[in-house]
Structure 1
Amino acid sequence: MGKNRQKSHVKTSGSAAQAEVIRFLESGAGFGGSTQRIDTHGAIIFLTGDRALKIKRAVKYDYMDLSTVAKRHTLLDRELELNKSTAPSIYRSVMPIVRRKDGTLALDGPGDVLEWVLVMNCFPAKAELAHIADDCGIDDALALKIGASIARYHTASPVRNLDGAALIEEIIDELERVFRSMGEAINVEASDFIARSRKVWSDLSVILHQRSRNGHIRRCHGDLHLRNIVVIGGVPTPFDALEFDERLGTCDTLYDLAFLLMDLDHRGMGHPANLVLNAYFSEACSDLTDAGLSLLPLYLSIRAAIRTMVDVQTAAVAADGIEMMGEARAYLMQAMDYLDPKPTVLLAIGGYSGTGKSTVARAIAHKIGAAPGAMHIRSDVARKTLLHHDPLTHLGAEGYTPEVTARTYDAIRHQARIVLEQGHSVILDAVHGNADARRAAEDIATDAGCDFVGIWLESKTATRLARISTRGPDASDADSTVVIRQAGADPGAMQWHRIDTDRSLEEALSAVSMTLNPHKITDKQTLGESDVG
């Protein structure tokens, strides 16, 4: 379930021999310079210059056996194998610590092998996503890069012939066993969580089996949270994949992603979490038929429950145990909230070029429906996909014929239906410049039996021209010619909510929120003020 599983029945092995190796590495002898030591429950890392040297502790847990040099060597080799291809700038090699003939220790070379060490390149701690999130937050551009990077990571991960339903059931079984052993440390909600998660698991078992048959069970990262992703050369890079248990490292790709989404949500970062989710599916599959979004609440809930378990266990031996118990209960409440059904909403946003449709959609999406918010389906992106172009490729007139436009609207409506069928909310982002287009959007919600909200954004031509002229790289091809042509267009009778976007984004979003019933949105995050783009 993660690297921080229960640490009962720990045994030490070969501690005297390893103690000598630790003294050698800590001294910096043989490779120059002083070292900084970092301890974890299963490893010790020594930072020296531009290198990090990692050894496995000579211990044995009930879930991880590091009791012999050979076993530690095997796991270091596996750690290198899992990470070197995905984070080549970090992982270098596995080398021996040897005793030379004169009795001194050395890193590599001839002699009797005492220990094995994983050699890595150092990176600044501030490059870890956890530090970035704490220090300055995760902006939109980085969130989109994270989602795309993880999608590529999963695409390259090997498929495993295992049953996803069985894997999730095993995790729920272990959570139940561990929660029972904690007694009064966890209140009655823990038992309620187990009962409810089993019910949801049972209801979704057919989909879980289908995900397995469709190749979504892969040898994933297994421990994909903010501390295990680092930004290198501007690219978010997963590292430190779970290496000690192949079954624990094998899961549904969406369950792997859910750890990161839950971590962001727990930190009150629902907006970047939503962008990560949308970017992930934009990169992983343009067709959302097999997205598995109906499984996401269960996956998020289990990830939060695992954090509850870890924090309770750690609190039992930590100096700040009382504070950690408070955090554990917060995770449990989060796990329970994910299992509460949320209303499914189709929010259709229309308006001419430069009124801020996509800006508003991105800003409000995390507040609509189940966490981490609505899927943002955008006509500008769908049009490029239909014509087999990258979203940033500029299309000429051939991309905007009536036939292509009709196909584009058919495509986004089809995608909206697919997402709604999976119990997930949708924002449909397109011009919707006539009554027929708007009526067709409403019909989707009617057919799906979900709530519908239609919003028409409008602003002055001068404002729209100014926005178009300063717009950066974007899927929209609209230019000043398009804006001027639209200035004389008539959208017809308007039944949708009209919202003026000449004002700030904060004011526009406040108006959007007022059009949605209070039970349809959450207020977990305060939106900063900026101009509508």
Structure 2
Amino acid sequence: MADKSLINALQNRELYDHDIDEFEVIETHISWVLLTGQYAYKIKKPVNFGFLNFSSLESRRHYCYEELALNQRFAPDIYLDVVSIGGTAKNPRLGVEPVFEYAVKMRQFRQDELLSAIARHGELGAKHCEQIAEVLADFHARARPVGYNNKCGSVQHVLYWVNENFLHIEALIDDNNDISRLKKIKQWTESASRYLSSDMSMRKKHGFVRECHGDLHLGNMAYIDQKIVFFDCIEFSRDLRWIDVLNEVAFVAMDLAERGYDPLSWHFLNGYLQKTGDYASLALYRYYYVYRAIVRAKVALLVTIGVGVSSDKVQEAWLEYRAYIDLSLSQTRKSKPCIILMHGYSGSGKSTIASRLANIVGAIHIRSDVERKRMFNLEANASSYSALNTGIYSGQLLADVYKQLRVLCREVGTVGYVAIIDATFLKSSQRDQFKELAQSMSLPFHIVSVEAPIGVMKQRLRDRMRKESDPSEATEEVLMAQLRNHDDLTDQERQYAKIIDNSDWVSDEQLKKISGAFRQDIAGVLSTKAVADSSA
């Protein structure tokens, strides 16, 4: 059986058939990982936490092979083999009988390539989050959906694991303030569970419960050779791996926010939604966000009951636990949604401004260029080979696109999120339709108009067409047609529109100042019925 004496004994260069740079041990509450330089060896601790049981040698062997197979879905170049360990704990030998332990052999990568390390150093950026969203969306599209009669993903099954987290935590806290704060979250969760049960059932029926990663946070992602790689998925529980894909998305977003990257958490979420079109999932987003924060809170507390854990580690774990509780409470506050319309010619930079505003405000960015392509089953950056006013850009189809944008806008606003609708909106009739929608939903309505000199817009369009890396297919010809045929903002619209001069770079401070009006509209209040109210 594995213990620290085995881990110490394995730090012997003579045991290995490859070069050793140096030994380093990484310990978690369920495993040890022995780093050697070229390869890493992961050994499971003989523990039983209820949701995880590695107490027998056979169970550890089984889950080593599960870990190998499941993680090869994302990282076949990292997960290499399962290695048997024979001999004794004080004098082990690899690959000999009788076997008393097993290890998963992996190709080692640098620890500074972990996204958690990149984030800790303040170097995590939009490029990482965009790639996470793309890789995750592609993986979810390939992942196997669970059978409808399988318990995984059912309302009762979700509630079991939600309650399991609270039971574990309740047994480990005795401070009155900790107890009170957890009780608020639990009450909110119980209320949300009732109101969202039909959404959960519908998601499962439509195939959104799939064999996911299960533990996808920044500590289980690496940035190797300019590519995002997922690793260390949950192998020990089908129940925790077969989940709604949104459950996994919410985990990534929550982890980004907890590490101080809240704007990038919205950038990631919008990237995923634009890739998948799964805006209907937002009804459950806060619920799974809170669930994932509570999971991490529980994991933090498990550190405090480990054998031989230093007082510094215990104090650090309690700080981490309370940070996750703070984050959970923030999601129980209902923020009032509003509708923000982007307005401007092709090449004005309105989509870039819209994306940045969404990150700052905390909004869902719905882009007409992406949704138009989706209506025709085209990838966002694929060419439709349509000329001006033809193909997917013909007059009637333009009306259909704006109709779909209204559908999505209503969907997003109904479940309590700010919607940024990103299209040219060069016709007053188009703008009026969304203003009427906002009035019918009793939501605040804003226009953000982005302007730039004609020469600048033409150059941006030329640069964009050359790179072929944007959903928009607008050309200089399209721009000139827009300039000839548009409706200026009315005097009334200009009274409440925010005008942005995007001749050059617009700073974050400028955008934060502009977003001040939106923030007043969406200020949140604590409500245990937030989900119920926003779903009504």
User: Which aligned pairs between 1:152-167 and structure 2 lie closer than 5 A?
Assistant: 152-160=138-146, 161-162=150-151, 163-167=153-157
**Are positions 1:505 and 2:530 aligned together?**
no
Instruction: Tell me, in whole angstroms, the C-alpha distance in 1 between the residues paired with 2:113 and 2:233.
Output: 17
Structure 2 distance, partners of 1:509, 1:41, is 43
Map of 1:9 onto structure 2 = none
Letter in 1 for 2:488: G
Listed as ranges, the gaps of 5+ residues in structure 2 are 525-536
Match of 1:256 among 224, 241, 248: 248
Alpha-carbon distance, 1:341 to partner: 1.0
Offset at residue 180 of structure 1 (A): 2.8
Unaligned runs of 5+ in 1: 1-13, 523-533
Equivalence for 2:295: 306
Q: Any idea what SS the aligned residue of 1:477 has?
A: coil
Residues 165-204 of structure 1 aligned to structure 2 (within 5 Å): 165-181=155-171, 182-184=173-175, 186-204=178-196
Distance in structure 1 (CA, Å) of the matches to 2:74 and 2:345: 42
- 1:322 maps to 315
8 Å Cα contact 2:427-2:487 kept in structure 1: yes
Q: Which letter maps to 1:300?
A: Y
RMSD: 2.7
Return 123-132 or 181-190, whichever deviates more: 181-190
In structure 2, what is the equivalent of residue 6 of structure 1?
A: none
Once the two structures are TM-superposed, the CA of residue 112 in structure 1 deviates from its matched residue by 2.5
Q: Counterpart of 1:247 in 2: which secondary structure?
A: helix
| Matched residue SS, 1:389 | coil
1:336 to 2:344 alignment:
no
Answer yes or no: is 1:474 the counterpart of 2:487.
Answer: no
Correspondent of 1:269 among 261, 267, 273: 261
Q: TM-score, normalised by structure 2?
A: 0.85
Instruction: Rate the CA distance shift 1:263–1:412 in 2: closer, same or farther, 3 A.
Output: same
User: 1:482-493 maps to which residues of 2 (within 5 A)?
Assistant: 482-493=478-489
Other-structure match for 2:103: 117
Quote the Cα distance in structure 2 between the aligned partners of 1:20 and 1:180. 34
User: Which aligned pairs between 1:416-495 and structure 2 lie closer than 5 A?
Assistant: 416-471=409-464, 472=467, 473-494=469-490, 495=493
Residue aligning to 2:16? 30
Q: What is the rounded CA distance, in whole Å, between the counterparts of 2:5 and 2:510 in structure 1?
A: 63
Do the aligned partners of 1:345 and 1:426 also contact (CA within 8 Å) in 2? yes
Which residue does 1:220 correspond to in 2?
212
Which SS does the other structure have where 2:116 is aligned? helix
Shift of 1:21: 7.3
| Distance in 2, Cα, partners of 1:174 & 1:389 | 42
Name the counterpart of 1:90: 78
Match in the other structure for 2:532:
none
Answer with 142-151 or 153-162: which moved more. 153-162
Matched, 1:518 2:520: yes
Deviation at 1:215, TM superposition (A): 2.0
CA drift at 1:344: 1.3
Alignment map for 1:235-254 (pairs within 5 Å): 235-254=227-246
* Shift in alpha-carbon separation, 1:26–1:42, aligned structure 2, 3 A: farther
Question: 2: CA distance between counterparts of 1:120 and 1:78?
Answer: 14
User: Contact 2:2–2:43 (CA<8 Å) still a contact in 1?
Assistant: no
Return closer, same or farther for 1:401/1:62 CA change in 2, 3 Å cut-off.
closer
1:129 and 2:125 correspond: no
Cα distance change, pair 500–388 in 1 and its aligned pair in 2 (3 A)? same
CA drift at 1:520: 2.2
> Aligned in 2, Cα 1:120/1:189: closer, same or farther, shift over 3 Å?
same
The one-letter amino acid of 1:499's match is: I
Q: Secondary structure at the match of 1:516?
A: helix
Distance 1:252 1:224 in 2: 13
Residues 90, 141 of structure 1: alpha-carbon distance in 2 compared, 3 angstrom cutoff: same
CA gap 1:179/1:38 in 2 versus in 1, 3 angstroms: closer
Question: How big is each residue's C-alpha offset from its partner over 1:125-184, in whole Å with a ceiling of 9 and x where there is no partner?
Answer: 122111222224332222111112112222233223224322332233223323332111
**Cα deviation digits, residues 237-279 of structure 1 (max 9, x gap):** 2210112222222322111221111111112212221121122
Q: Deviation at 1:29? A: 2.0
The equivalent residue for 1:364 is 357
Of 369, 390, 397, the residue aligned with 2:379 is: 390
Question: What letter corresponds to residue 320 of structure 2 in structure 1?
Answer: E
Q: Report the count of equivalent residues.
A: 498
CA distance in 2, matches of 1:327, 1:68: 31
User: One-letter code of the match for 1:458?
Assistant: E
Inter-partner Cα distance in structure 2 for 1:315 and 1:69? 26
| Identical aligned residues as a percent | 26
TM-score where L is the length of structure 1: 0.86
Asked if structure 2 preserves the Cα contact closer than 8 Å seen for 1:45 and 1:55, the reply is yes
Partner amino acid, structure 2, of 1:297: R
- What residue in structure 2 maps to residue 529 of structure 1? none
CA deviations 1:182-235 (Å, max 9, x no partner) are 111724111121112111111211212222222222232221111011223433
For 1:144 and 1:387, how far apart are their aligned partners in 2?
Answer: 23
Tell me the residue number matched to 1:234: 226
Match of 1:149 in 2: 135
Quote the residue 2:529 is aligned against: none
Taking CA–CA contacts closer than 8 Å with sequence separation of 6 or more, which of the two structures ends up with the larger relative contact order? 2
SS of 2:240 mapped into structure 1: coil
Which residue of the other structure, out of 90, 94, 107, is the alignment partner of 2:94? 107
Q: Aligned residue for 1:527?
A: none
Contact 1:350 1:457 (8 Å CA) reproduced: yes
Contact 2:169 2:301 in 1 (8 A): no
Q: Residue 46 of structure 1 contacts residue 52 of structure 1 at CA under 8 Å; is this kept in 2?
A: yes
Asked if structure 1 preserves the Cα contact closer than 8 Å seen for 2:170 and 2:179, the reply is: no
Q: Which amino acid aligns with 2:344?
A: G
Q: Retained in 2: the 8 A contact 1:56–1:72?
A: yes
SS at match of 1:183: coil
Per-residue CA distance 1:291-347 (angstroms, 9 max, x = gap): 321111111112222333333443464432334433322321211110111111111
Q: 1:387 to 1:194 in 2, by over 3 A?
A: closer
Aligned to 1:505, what secondary structure does the other structure show? coil
**Local SS of the residue matching 1:205:** helix
Tell whether 2:46 aligns with 1:58. yes
Q: Distance in 2 between matches of 1:105 and 1:327?
A: 37
